[in-house]
Structure 1
């Protein structure tokens, strides 16, 4: 449904700008939603969740899916009402959750490669960080007279609240992205150095060690794309919010081109994650009709096999094979 001038605060004299930006946001968010569903579907279907690194990607995709929903349901509001405040809170919560899951994936890879420690036991800690800290940060604007409110064509941190916008989101965001890029650069350096060293000592390492090194190189090749995807998705939103801060009054007074690029890229995290995930050669090899059909049939077969013993036990029909027949 097209907007009217009363809901188009940014360009009241040109409602078409609002409608174009709104449609762009919905299209980008819809593609991102499909990307999230794709990654979750592949991980579950082919049981990739049995591997710790894949479970981290799974939880990242779940967070990105929830974040995408915020961009889909987000609508312009005239005043700070309950729906607008909830939209702003939801967006802040899952924006931070996605960022923290990407950070945990980066830390996990650093710990595996550089420190050579297994980190499977840290999965619970990662959940506390990525959901718990995100929730606490999202609650902070509620403690100062409810900072959430209309922020353009969706609800977020209200017009003019630039200290909040940059203090709890954009500044920490790009600090963490910078740290992640530096970390991945160092991880790649360490792996290349070890590969060169191993090349001169062929036969000195076990098959398991060599297999582990190959797996780490594959993980780095795929996982290093997630911080890059996050940087791409948040570059134009940062530029747009800087412009908003420089010209804000009662409204953000955005430049149409920047606002459009913001609306197109901010919701794209799920789609970019899917593209990064598809870079995995082993994943691409399974994206055929035959592999998918086989996996679905196996999944259905296992579900049926699991149901029968429960049914038999309920009816007292379970028989146990033993030596005396």
Structure 2
């Protein structure tokens, strides 16, 4: 019995990354880098949530979608920071299911933000009534993708964290990598179409000079700029994990330290990458100056102003009072982008 205890202890403390002792320097490096990148991503998500709260960017549909993306990326980062070495067991299955769910949820919100922008700008459709459908898709589909491997019993140690094991390579690519890169390709095509339509519309706006219309033209170009980086960011943080998983598929008994290191450097950075994309918005940085933060905190914490309801009385209009309101297009604040001459159509199913 005593001869079996050291063996059991060595199995519990072994490095599941490289099938060596847990004191192996490679394991120490991988764990340290994994914690660091996960923490950076977590901090980026917390910063984004703070800015959204400070600037009250959660009223329109587009802003709510970005908030939901940030929440998904936050919990995804928590999964990467979670634990150290995970042998097979319930904790390992929990981390694997957690990571699969929130990886998919963050990806789903990025795709839906792209679809929402496409419907608003290219198809000229108001998408406010799709909000519940967006939430059902972004939180429901990942649930299915996360629980399928769990029900099959395919989760286990899979490198620097728990996921689908090396014995089920087809499931790894079917559940994540093939859909991921297919959706990235579709998003790139979608943004190319969006940018093309936006450029045509900005060049074709004619008529008398309208300061508000000119401001919208500049705002349209500036706001599309950061969002178009979402597919590129996801491609950058996913390319090394794909290469490492391909190496694992061909050489399951010989994991590469350099590829595993690049994997843990890039895979947990979804939250930080989203914060980087947000940081490309110049309006945000102009509002996040020391004075802007101070005013924002005062508004959030100290302002107790209450606006009462206005009850209009009876009004009579004469023909001379009627004006052309065709240039007044500020009524739809839930649309991410739209041109001043464009009327969004609330099309039925």
What's the TM-score once normalised by structure 2's chain length? Answer: 0.80
**Cα drift, residue 278 of structure 1:** 0.9
**Cross-structure match for 2:85:** 76
Alignment of 1:230 with 2:230, yes or no, is: no
In the alignment, which of 183, 193, 197 is matched to residue 190 of structure 1? 197
In the alignment, which of 37, 51, 70 is matched to residue 61 of structure 1? 70
Alpha-carbon separation, structure 2, partners of 1:215 and 1:225:
17
User: Runs of 4+ in structure 1 displaced over 3 angstroms?
Assistant: 206-216
Alignment of 1:128 with 2:136, yes or no, is: yes
The structure carrying a bigger helix percent of its residues is: 1
Tell me the SS of whatever aligns to 1:23: helix
**Superposition pairs for residues 100-179 of structure 1, below 5 Å?**
100-144=108-152, 146-179=153-186
Larger Rg: 2
**Superposition pairs for residues 191-210 of structure 1, below 5 Å?**
191-198=198-205, 201-203=206-208
| Alignment CA distance shift 1:125-1:210 (3 Å) | farther
Query: Which ranges in structure 2 are unaligned for 5 or more consecutive residues?
Result: 1-10, 307-349
Alpha-carbon separation, structure 2, partners of 1:291 and 1:129:
36
**Cα drift, residue 274 of structure 1:** 0.7
Could you tell which deviates more after superposition, 134-143 or 62-71? 134-143
Query: Which ranges in structure 1 are unaligned for 5 or more consecutive residues?
Result: 307-325
Tell me the SS of whatever aligns to 2:156: strand
| Alignment CA distance shift 1:74-1:155 (3 Å) | farther
Alignment of 1:294 with 2:295, yes or no, is: yes
Alpha-carbon separation, structure 1, partners of 2:215 and 2:62:
16
**Superposition pairs for residues 261-300 of structure 1, below 5 Å?**
261-300=262-301
Tell me the SS of whatever aligns to 1:116: coil
In the TM superposition, what whole-angstrom CA distance separates every residue of 1:28-82 from its partner, at most 9, and x where no partner exists? 111101110111110111111123222211110100000000000043223x201
Alpha-carbon separation, structure 2, partners of 1:212 and 1:49:
21
